[in-house]
Each structure stands twice: as C-alpha cells, then as structure tokens.
C-alpha cells in the first residue's frame, strides 16, 4: 500500500487552548475526508456528503465552542468511513463494511493488516493526543470536563426524530444530568436523555477518557439540520454555550 504523504500523517486537528483549561472539547467524526492512499474507498463521491461519512456540522460547532470557552479541542481529521474514532481498537465496527445500506468496497476487502495499519496511523494518535491533553491539565492541577460533539440525522429509516438535542452518558451523571436539565430549560427544545443513541458503549471515546479516568463528561448530539450551515451553527452555539455554562455551574464545575 502507498505510504501517506507528509500532509496526511496528522490524524487529528488541534484547536489550541490553555493547558489548564477546565474544558476539553472533542469531535470524533469531524471530517468526511479520506487520505489519498485510500482514494474514495470504492464509494460514489456523493456518499461522502451523507452522515455515513461524518457528523454534519459538528466540527464547525466544536471549533466555535472552543473559541467561546477559550478551551482546547481535538477533532478527527479523517472520515469515519476510514476509521471510527469513537470505537475501541477491538470493536469489529471500527472499519465499517456496510453503513446505512451503503457497501464500502475498500473496507469490505480490508485485510487484518490494513485495519491494524489504520488503527496505528489514524486512531491511536488521536486518542494519545486526548490522553496527553488530559495528563497535562491534571499535572497543572485542573481536572478537565470532557465534552464530545456529534450530530444525528433528522430521520432514521423513514421515521422522523423529534429531538433537537440529545445528551449521551453512562455511569457518571455529574455533567450529563444537569446538562439535560439546562437544555430542557431552553424554550421549544426537545431534548433526549440517551436519545437517539445511548452512551453505554464500552471502549468508546467517553468511556476511555471520561469513565475510566473519573472525569466529568458528556456527549452532545445535535440534529444535523440545525447545524448544517453557519447560521444554524451560530444559533446552536448560543444555546449549547448557555446550557453548558448553566450545567457546569450547577455541577460545581469550572467553565
């Protein structure tokens, strides 16, 4: 297999911020790009505009939140079709062969060595960077709260999804529960508690860096049509920032 170019060796995008910032923003599915060595993975180009390739709008909202809170952020650089950063290395869906009815030919034919290469080249550095950011913050005397940003489709298999926002969490209610309450205080906002997905996936990003390290954390899902353009991102930025500040204050956590 052709080696990636120098520009492709970075597995993630870093939004700089203070080492001892009380928040760390993450975006696993920020991009729909694929390294040149993998071409189009055998897919029609139009498929890369769909949710199967990335979380539409999540990257722009993550960057905006990092700027608003003067906090660092880490965002995945490549499509979830190349490798899913929100899966553990042993998860069989870390390289998806079929996603929402679309066969990904290059993934369906991927060898064990190819999957291992993708993990080492693109998955491991991202998670190592998260760990390093947390370690540096802890060394500076601050235990950061982790906020992971995702987005979801307005409908699934023909069924409309009523939620505007969802908060996913597992064992630790410190940030997630007050965040759900803060979102529900927003007029007209339909909020999911572990909807439209649940937050109980062992070895995912929040489990690995939040649950296993005892850090407050929450995964925020925004419906994609609400953040599909800059106007939507600006509107949701105000709502998410307001809810996050309210939740952090209620939980006695720093913003």
What are the C-alpha distances in Å from 156 to residues 19, 152, 161?
A: 40, 9, 7
pLDDT for 160-217, tens place per residue? Answer: 999 999 999 999 999 999 999 999 999 999 999 999 998 988 899 999 999 999 999 9
| Of residues 122, 150, 133, the one with CA closest to residue 215 | 133
pLDDT for 105-134, tens place per residue? Answer: 999 999 999 999 999 999 999 999 999 999
Instruction: Please classify residue 126 by burial: count the beta carbons closer than 10 Å to its beta carbon, then call 0-12 exposed, 13-18 middle and 19+ buried.
Output: buried
Structural class in CATH, domain 6-251:
alpha beta
pTM: 0.95
In the three-class reduction of DSSP (H, G, I as helix; E, B as strand; rest coil), residue 217 is classed as: strand
pLDDT for 39-96, tens place per residue? Answer: 999 999 999 999 999 999 999 999 999 999 999 999 999 999 999 999 999 999 999 9
Q: Sketch the domain layout of the chain as residue ranges.
A: 6-251
Contact at 8 Å (CB) between 211 and 134?
Answer: no
Position 50 scores a pLDDT of 93
């Amino acid at each position: 297999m052709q080696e990636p170019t120098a520009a492709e060796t970075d597995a993630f995008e870093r939004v700089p911020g203070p080492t001892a910032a009380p928040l760390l923003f993450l975006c696993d599915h920020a991009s729909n790009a694929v390294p040149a060595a993998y071409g189009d993975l055998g897919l029609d180009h139009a498929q890369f505009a769909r949710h199967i390739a990335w979380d539409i709008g999540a990257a722009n909202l993550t960057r905006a939140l990092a700027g608003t809170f003067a906090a660092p952020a880490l965002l995945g650089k490549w499509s979830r079709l190349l490798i899913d950063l929100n899966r553990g290395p042993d998860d069989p869906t870390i390289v998806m062969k079929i996603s929402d009815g679309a066969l990904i030919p290059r993934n369906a034919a991927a060898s064990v060595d190819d999957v291992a290469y993708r993990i080492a080249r693109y998955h491991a550095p991202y998670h190592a960077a998260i760990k390093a950011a947390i370690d540096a913050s802890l060394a500076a005397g601050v235990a950061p709260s982790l906020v992971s940003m995702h987005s979801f489709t307005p409908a699934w298999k023909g069924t409309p999804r009523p939620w505007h926002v969802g908060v996913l969490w597992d064992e630790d209610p410190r940030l997630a529960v007050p965040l759900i309450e803060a979102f529900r205080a927003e007029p007209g906002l339909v909020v999911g508690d572990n909807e439209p997905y649940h937050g109980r996936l062992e070895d995912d990003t929040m489990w690995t860096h939040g649950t296993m390290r005892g850090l407050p954390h929450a995964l925020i899902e925004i419906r994609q049509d609400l953040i599909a353009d800059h106007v939507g991102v600006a509107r949701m930025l105000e709502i998410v920032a307001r809810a996050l500040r309210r939740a952090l204050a209620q939980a006695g956590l720093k913003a």
